Structure 1
Amino acid sequence: MRRTRSTAALVAAAVVAGGMALASPAYADPTPAGTFRQLVGVGSDTTQDVLNALAGDTVNGTSYAGTAVKSAAGAGLASYDAIGSATVQTRSAGPSFTRPNGSGPGRTALSMSLTGDKFPTATGVAIPGQVDFARSSGGPSVSGSALTYIPFARDAVGVAVRGSGLDSLTVAQLHDVYAAGSTHEVNGQTVHPVLPQSGSGTRKFFLGAIGLSESTVDTGLPTVQENQANDALTQDGTLVPFSVGSWIAQSNGIAPNKSDTAFAAGAHLAAVRLPGDTGTTNPVTTVNGKLTPVAGYYENATFGRDVYNVVPSRAIDPTSIFFDKDLYDVFVSSGTHEAALASETAEKVIADFGFLNESYNGSVNLAKHAKVGGLEISGLDTSTPAKPAVAATLGDASVKLSWTAPSPAPAQPVTDYRVTLKDADGGVVATKDLPASTTSYSFADLATGSYSATVTADNVNGTGAEATWSGAVKYASTTRATTATTAYGKAPKVAVTVTVTHGVVPGGKVTVKEGSTTLGTGTLASTGKVTVSLSNHLKVATHSLTVSYGGSSKLNSSSEKLSLKITKATPSVATSAPASVAHTSRAKVTVKVTATGTTPGGTVRVYEGSRVIATGTLSAGKVTVTLPKLSKGRHTLHAFYAGSTTVNSRNGADFTLKST
């Protein structure tokens, strides 16, 4: 939409109609003095008056108490002006600190409220928790995601001028007038360009719109407080960027009038040739004696702008431990939830102050005009944490994620950990935000299947790098095993029972190991039981065994440790000898030693009483021993097996040998 009607004429009409207030400037913090409310905002001069009204305060003599915006729980706004007393105190027991003047200082104050740094510089005052939102007429100056810029309304930046020679302007003329090295002329007329104060959102936006920046603008230009024409337009030929919404609100007597002297001297908004147009467009028109916005100018991409309320991103995230429901209720529209600032009553107040209401007001969707940015603190380390080290323990239809803090620790400390579980298709199953002191979290009552999870460490700068886990969630199994002390040579048996829940029939393989050595395996029957036989030649010792069930498609693995004691085998000693022998001869005695599952080896001794009369070494479990010559008479003898590392010692039965 393009309008070419002279602004000067419109202003004159407004004066005649009584629509232009000529009251003295007035400034207001939450009233009455000493009032403290829950949701504290500072920053932009452009939106301070409308936010004061929405807070329920008195603005330019009109009380807005009846239309005060509050959260569902009754939390109200406290909007502090950009200019006024040198300091503000925003909490009943809080410190007094330098009043933030402008969008940039407001965002800095919000940032330092989050970090606990001193505002406005290291020689200032620490302000942790003293600011909840910042009024901003511009977008982010720092990349990042710590702050969310929620569109509040639509404004435009016009050029307020004094003198008829500046009734219409082009972008190119504005660029040349404000650029470094400019001769400050328009159509051969000397002009006097003025800029808003440093840190002003209007200043930053205007320079960008005309193709300049702080490094290319004429740094010698005078500066004044934004949106105050009295100080800026002091002579014919002066021009200054101005919020059109603020111009309308002051002209119509809605906002405190800081431009009345300039209005009386003929100050007006210039018509501007918008990029792509052949004619000029006036930012305002007159309806029933009042100035109103020209929608085509407001919606123009060069001079139209969204104005924002800036909040900590984590404070409006319902899944965050820092979630502030009151802040969310007032500022955020999402799904069926409508921001209190987007209500019909609030939008009427917003319109009265010269702004356009948009369908996306209150949206935090980045595709619908919302923006995100980093903390605005000079010299701040803006890095987010590295990824933590994560491990997982699978349970009964559950997974427990454990992690250790990122290393090295980030410059801005970890404030919380965010854990997200996704299903096999990548859909989010659950998200949990946890305090920095917490290092584990369990997801329970899950359906069996494949899952993935991420764990991030967060700080005030935003979300850190993701640590990931993936695996299968199954039902729990419990393995129980028993065994008995077993003699060497006999096969030890391990009785294994695997029990489960959820009606699943256990199946699969059971393994018995000693250390890394597999001693035996078995396959479960449908009853969940199996007996595993081990080698009959395990060494004589106490063995530490691990009995493991490998799991199945629906069951987790499980294991149990137990001890198996292997003892020496018990032998039998049999002796074969002649009944008699001549005393001049030497008898031969055969000794056979047997034991279950093994062939004993070692030494055999033949005794007469307690005296050893002969020895021999077993071969294949037996030995023939030649006795010495025996004196005439009956001799009672017995064989003794001395044992080995695997077989116990044993005496054989007495036998009698007659020497003749």
Structure 2
Amino acid sequence: MRRMRLTAAMVAAAAVSGTLALASPASADPTPAGTFRQLVGVGSDTTQDVLNALAGDTVNGKSYAETAVKAGDAGIASYDAIPSGTATTTIQTRAGGPSFLRPNGSGKGKLALSESLTGDKFPSSDGVAIKGQVDFARSSGGPSVSGTALTYVPFARDAVGVAVRGSGLDTLTVDQLHDIYANGGTSTVNGQVVHPVIPQVDSGTRKFFLAAIGLNELTVSPNIPTVQENQANAALTQDGALVPFSVGSWIAQNNGIAPDYSKTAVAAGARLASIQLPGDTGATSPVTTVNGKLTPVSGYFENATFGRDVYNVVPSRAIDPSSVFFDKALYDVFVTSGTHEAALATDTAEKVIADFGFLNESYNGSVNPAKHAKLGGLEESGIDIKAPNAPALKATPGDASLKLTWTAPTPAPALPVTDYRVTLTGSDGAVVAVKDVPATTTSYSFTGLALGTYTASVSAANLNGTGSAASWTGAVKYTSAVKATAATTAYGKTPKVAVTVTGSHGVVPSGKVTVKDGTTTLGTGTLDSSGKVTIGLSNHLKVATHTLSVSYGGSTKLNASATTAKLTITKATPSVGSTAPASVSHTGRAKVGVKVTATGTTPTGTVRVYEGSRVLATGTLSGGRVTITLPKMGRGKHTMHVYYTGSTTVNSKNGANFTIKST
């Protein structure tokens, strides 16, 4: 915006105009007493009056009911920083809720918002628990704690000026202000002994002003008296007095728009000093007069040293549409994003904001840190500020789907997990889906996915923000199913496993199938064009019933799958053959040749020669053969047979009868 320079005459006119339109202070808590609204705000008195007006309440005798900002039926309840009129030092923001001390200033407002989230006591351990009692904080400054728990949504543009009383303080430099507030009451400017005053601790204006002049709470003089911010009557009680002041508040008070806490001081000559801004050679007044009313000087408001954004501070998770804690009413009132316009950014609302001495900016309502929004942590001392560690994640691809399961982070964070953020991105890095689920949920499935490579991540969140993520990267395909059968097979014969693999979505499977017995691979095969294959296994599998695992390795379109099949291996059935002489002398000994055969194996073991039930002789097979010498036999015919006793792999069996005549 164009910087405006004021002549001495203009400055004088501005000072004179500051004596106009004075009014008595009046409380603007939600009225009538006992009124409760959905969106509760507390904190800075710099923006309390304009927020009171936007809430539709009566401010300085004027009702703003017709221009009240709402989201649906949700209205704003803005509570003053300090009591005035008939108000009390405590407030009750919910029906049946606790009464607690008014949060006075930006710092206390942000503390109250933080403790409304954590459930801790406000403003100290001697206070009361205020969980769920505050929805936003008015703040004239940015965050004091790093983190992401709170979003500082720009509301309007303000500036900090210096309200002065005394002839020598019309124009001041940053260096002069630095020395005045560093030294306390020992400075003289243009022959005028100065008496610096500063707003109360926790005031956003105090913090901003000290930073602007190069000081902080450790370097500012401890001897400087403090007053409630933006109240010149209490601060400027003598010539030479000066106090940092919200220019927007000065304009609103002097124009009769806001309750006037500066009437007495202005009547005694109080005014806003012109400041020589860093890098300038001349001084700039924060205000000018247009049609008898004070208005902002845009060059001063836009200056990086004394111009400032003022904020509405909200829980980050409450304005995140993908969060389980998303508060649509809060979002609709405060946030401008894309085509969504904040209710506070409408023409009607901006007219009210301008009437209260602030500048409307194009970025008001932004939640983008690149466009004036800020992120900060919970403004509460003594709490752990860590976000949770990553959970332990398991991913199971399904039919064009992905199921994620996880376990809670270890060790458990000091502030407990409140929810989990589940994110799915494609191979190009584009986000496919984001889902927040409550802390009690430990699984989530994405369905109806296109084939491709994805990265899924799960991160745990607590009030401090979202922690590090556990992630998985892999392919999402269609499902396959395996069917396998195996017929009972005798030892020595080749067992076969018939396998059929089918794919969903009409995809015909291709690729390899593997058959295992435990960890031992028994065979592999490649599917034919119909998704089938028969795999022959070893003919020497142990005689037993085997539970085989049959697995399909998948393809570019299909996930791997597996099944089991029972294969029973039985003992082989042998053939027992024998050769013997037709006759033998009773003084001689006959020899019987025995041969035992079986398909696919050479039998081993013992062979016996029986005459009836009497064992005449035994022998041990070697290479499936043995020659057994019989004992001497008495004269006559002897009918005998050979009996093979079997083995671990071959069944026993009797051979055919044969006769030997002993002579």
Deviations 1:253-279 (A, max 9, x none): 111111111111111111111111111
User: For the residues of structure 1 that align with 2:314 and 2:160, how far apart are their CA atoms?
Assistant: 23
Deviations 1:220-256 (A, max 9, x none): 1100000011111111110000001111111111111
1:76 partner SS: strand
Q: Partner of 1:99 in structure 2? A: 102
Matches within 5 A, 1:411-450: 411-450=414-453
The answer to whether the 8 A contact 2:248-2:358 is kept is: yes
Q: Partner of 1:214 in structure 2? A: 217
Q: Partner of 1:645 in structure 2? A: 648
Matches within 5 A, 1:148-227: 148-180=151-183, 183-227=186-230
1:182 deviation in Å?
6.3
Matches within 5 A, 1:247-286: 247-286=250-289
1:181 deviation in Å?
6.3
User: For the residues of structure 2 that align with 1:10 and 1:337, how far apart are their CA atoms?
Assistant: 39
User: For the residues of structure 1 that align with 2:25 and 2:310, how far apart are their CA atoms?
Assistant: 23
The answer to whether the 8 A contact 1:601-1:644 is kept is: yes
Q: Partner of 1:37 in structure 2? A: 37
Deviations 1:35-75 (A, max 9, x none): 0000000000000000000001111111111100001x221
Q: Partner of 2:54 in structure 1? A: 54
Q: Partner of 1:566 in structure 2? A: 569
Q: Partner of 2:16 in structure 1? A: 12
Q: Would the alpha carbon gap of residues 540 and 300 (structure 1) be closer, same or farther in structure 2, given more than 3 Å must change?
A: same
1:342 deviation in Å?
0.2
User: For the residues of structure 2 that align with 1:442 and 1:397, how far apart are their CA atoms?
Assistant: 11
1:126 deviation in Å?
1.2
One-letter amino acid of the counterpart of residue 25, structure 1: P
TM-score, length-normalised on structure 1?
0.98
The answer to whether the 8 A contact 1:8-1:267 is kept is: no
Matches within 5 A, 1:219-238: 219-238=222-241
Is 1:120 aligned to 2:123, yes or no? yes
1:589 deviation in Å?
1.0
Is 1:80 aligned to 2:79, yes or no? yes
TM-score, length-normalised on structure 2?
0.97
User: For the residues of structure 1 that align with 2:205 and 2:69, how far apart are their CA atoms?
Assistant: 26
Q: Would the alpha carbon gap of residues 223 and 181 (structure 1) be closer, same or farther in structure 2, given more than 3 Å must change?
A: closer
Matches within 5 A, 1:456-535: 456-535=459-538
Unmatched 5+ stretches in structure 2: none
Is 1:627 aligned to 2:630, yes or no? yes
The answer to whether the 8 A contact 1:4-1:282 is kept is: no
The answer to whether the 8 A contact 2:171-2:276 is kept is: yes
Deviations 1:508-566 (A, max 9, x none): 11100112211000000010000000000011122221111111111111111222221
1:10 deviation in Å?
2.1
1:226 partner SS: coil
RMSD after superposition: 1.2
2:115 partner SS: helix
Unmatched 5+ stretches in structure 1: none
The answer to whether the 8 A contact 2:335-2:342 is kept is: yes
The answer to whether the 8 A contact 1:8-1:269 is kept is: no
1:24 partner SS: coil
1:8 deviation in Å?
4.6
User: For the residues of structure 2 that align with 1:3 and 1:393, how far apart are their CA atoms?
Assistant: 70
User: For the residues of structure 1 that align with 2:12 and 2:26, how far apart are their CA atoms?
Assistant: 26
1:620 deviation in Å?
0.9
Q: Partner of 1:544 in structure 2? A: 547
User: For the residues of structure 1 that align with 2:12 and 2:222, how far apart are their CA atoms?
Assistant: 30
Q: Partner of 1:353 in structure 2? A: 356
1:4 deviation in Å?
3.6
2:492 partner SS: coil
Q: Partner of 1:592 in structure 2? A: 595
**Segments ≥4 residues shifted beyond 6 Å:** none
The answer to whether the 8 A contact 2:184-2:222 is kept is: no
1:179 partner SS: helix
User: For the residues of structure 1 that align with 2:11 and 2:242, how far apart are their CA atoms?
Assistant: 14
1:489 partner SS: coil
One-letter amino acid of the counterpart of residue 66, structure 1: E
Deviations 1:127-184 (A, max 9, x none): 1111110000000101111100000000110101112221111111100000146623
User: For the residues of structure 2 that align with 1:195 and 1:480, how far apart are their CA atoms?
Assistant: 83
User: For the residues of structure 1 that align with 2:476 and 2:36, how far apart are their CA atoms?
Assistant: 51
User: For the residues of structure 1 that align with 2:323 and 2:183, how far apart are their CA atoms?
Assistant: 47
The answer to whether the 8 A contact 1:37-1:76 is kept is: yes
One-letter amino acid of the counterpart of residue 11, structure 1: A
Deviations 1:604-635 (A, max 9, x none): 01111211110000011111111111112222
User: For the residues of structure 1 that align with 2:289 and 2:79, how far apart are their CA atoms?
Assistant: 31
